[in-house]
Amino acid sequence: MSRSRSPNYPQIGLKEAVQRAKSVYESDYRSSLTRALTAERLGYSGVNGKSLAVIAALGKFGLLEGKGEELRVSELAVRVIAHPPGSAERLQALAEAAARPDLFQAIAQRFPGKGASDGTIRAFLMTQGFIPPAAETALRAWRETQQMIAQESEMDPAASVISAQPPPGSVPGNVPGSAPGLRRAVFGLAEGEVVITAPVFLSAASVNDLQDYLDVFMKRARREAGLE
């Protein structure tokens, strides 16, 4: 009798994946490593089920790259590691990594926003071929990833939303002096102007990530204004 196999998914969340990638980077920077040596840098005695699962997870997040036996820390991972927590650059890199796993894209598209309960997502995973233990692990990795993005966004909620002050009278559209394909929205408030710049075209996963980020921004703004 064949054993049931669940679809591929990262078995750890993004926070742990970043920590693991950092341990490899601090040892060998972006040098190519064998799979066995990569496992050792990750804290394992060698190639086994656990180390392979972590290596696979880092690959799904785009933090490790390579083919066959040659692996190395990716440019995306360096962008996460190099920039301080809460910075716009790190948040953008984290958002890219969080959207890489195919399963996470499917969950974001099926359940936009934050309304879905664990039970609802768990049921969805089981209907997609996940056995219950794997569904639980995948759900935990998804939640931990979303929590990391939210926590780092709260460190500096204005970092990747507010840009330089625009010229008077600016309206949503292409950003002057910037690469094409960007647009800017300007909101005039009593205290000054709030400026948001974003690509004109966003994927469904990116739209969901942006919504989550703006929810965190508004939550903190309401708290600081005494509305909560």
How many angstroms separate the Cα of 147 from the Cα of each of 104, 114, 153, 154, 193? 13, 11, 10, 11, 29
Residue 16: the pLDDT is 95
Strands (E), the chain: 64-67, 70-73, 182-189, 192-199
Say what the pLDDT of residue 171 is. 43
The pLDDT of residue 50 is: 92
* Of residues 137, 131, 140, the one with CA closest to residue 5: 131
Residues of the chain with pLDDT below 50 are 1-2, 157-180
Q: Measured between alpha carbons, how far is 207 from 61 in angstroms, rounded to an integer?
A: 18
pTM exceeds 0.85, yes or no: no
CA distance 37 to 204: 37
90-141: per-residue pLDDT in tens?
Answer: 999 999 999 999 999 999 889 887 668 999 999 999 999 999 999 999 999 9
